[in-house]
Structure 1
């Protein structure tokens, strides 16, 4: 078979990719996330001591940190769905932002406690429940970004999957902040990292083969 015949045969199997604007994609994902947050709060997900929690620096640290990472990684994911863009620069920005958030948490922790009573502070039984809830809350943005990614034309599916996982995991963490019973920076750093890590790794493994075009 000649090269031209082979190219013709392969091109017949290609499906056209409908162009979408980044603004539309961002609006769709934003709507999904806002709906999830509103439903979560309306169904009684908010912690009962919210007025007290809002007076704690660690509450605003975890809320702002999770929100900033979700926005940065979500933007990086949507940008990476275009064939001419790579997610690598966005991933570097997200990693740098994550390091900054963790460092800020360490400073807050040092100002409040110290290094004592490690096991009691981690509270593994409650921590596992937190991880479980964060994973569930990350599912809607994973599905939304996954559908958009499949309809796009990313040239680096693995990199895009990483950014989708980070964005979805951090949004799940952001929503869970309103229910999280702990304001201990050490607890938050450990268990939020576990929950976000599981979502990110699972998304990286699952999305690339499902979004092949």
Structure 2
């Protein structure tokens, strides 16, 4: 499913912010997750870097608000009914990445499997959000920050809960 207005939005600062920040976060988080599988990894420092990238991306959203969006009521801006669908879509799109990173984690030797699982969940969530960003019809950065964060947090939580169960702690 593509956006019907993709031709008009392709060069907009808003879409560039959304796709660029999610792409950067996905790359950073994937590198972090894969590196966390090494016995010598410093996973906490990598998680802090991913957190910093996410905070900078959220802060940058204040500079790309399309005209007329900020005049709407808060509930209309975050549109909970559509937001739940977006978060669910991000979760579903992330499942193959969680499975892949879980398989890689199972073949590696992480000394901190809980943190590696969390890093894998963050990476998978960011990848799912990146893919979904191309078809999401909403142009409000507040909507993206709220619902994409919910979707990514759900993936990270599920991965953190499920993946370490395969390892002895």
Shorter-normalised TM-score: what interval?
over 0.9
CA distance in 2: counterparts of 1:57 and 1:78, whole angstroms: 31
| Cα separation, 2, equivalents of 1:150 and 1:115 | 49
CA contact (8 A) 1:150 1:212 kept: no
Aligned residues: 169
Instruction: Report the CA distance between 1:200 and its aligned residue.
Output: 0.6
Corresponding residue of 1:7: none
Of the candidates 73, 83, 95, which is equivalent to residue 127 of structure 1? 83
Structure 1 residue 113, shift from structure 2 partner? 4.3
Deviation at 1:92, TM superposition (A): 0.9
CA contact (8 A) 1:135 1:199 kept: yes
Cα distance in 2 for residues equivalent to 1:170 and 1:145: 13
Structure 1 stretches of 4+ with a deviation exceeding 4 A read 110-113
Q: Provide, for residues 45-96 of structure 1, a one-character-per-residue CA deviation record: whole Å limited to 9, x for no partner.
A: 2222211121321111110111111100110111110111121111111011
TM-score, normalised to structure 2's length?
0.94
Q: Specify the alignment match of 2:95 in structure 1.
A: 139
Q: How big is each residue's C-alpha offset from its partner over 1:76-128, in whole Å with a ceiling of 9 and x where there is no partner?
A: 11111011112111111101101000000023239764464111111111111
* Long gaps (5+) in structure 1: 1-44
> Aligned residue for 2:58?
102
> Which is worse superposed, 156-165 or 101-110?
101-110
Q: Does 1:65 align with 2:21?
A: yes
Instruction: Let me know the Cα RMSD of the aligned residues.
Output: 1.7
Does the Cα contact within 8 Å between 2:29 and 2:50 map onto a contact in 1? Answer: yes
Which of the pair has more CA radius of gyration?
1
Kindly state the Cα deviation for residue 171 of structure 1 after the two structures are TM-superposed. Answer: 0.3
User: TM-score, normalising length from structure 1?
Assistant: 0.75
Q: 1:176 aligns with which of 114, 118, 132?
A: 132
Gaps of at least 5 residues in structure 2 are none
CA–CA distance in structure 2, aligned partners of residues 181 and 78 of structure 1 = 32
Is 2:35 the partner of 1:79? yes
**Pair 1:179–1:113, CA change in 2 (3 A):** closer
Offset of residue 162 of structure 1: 1.1
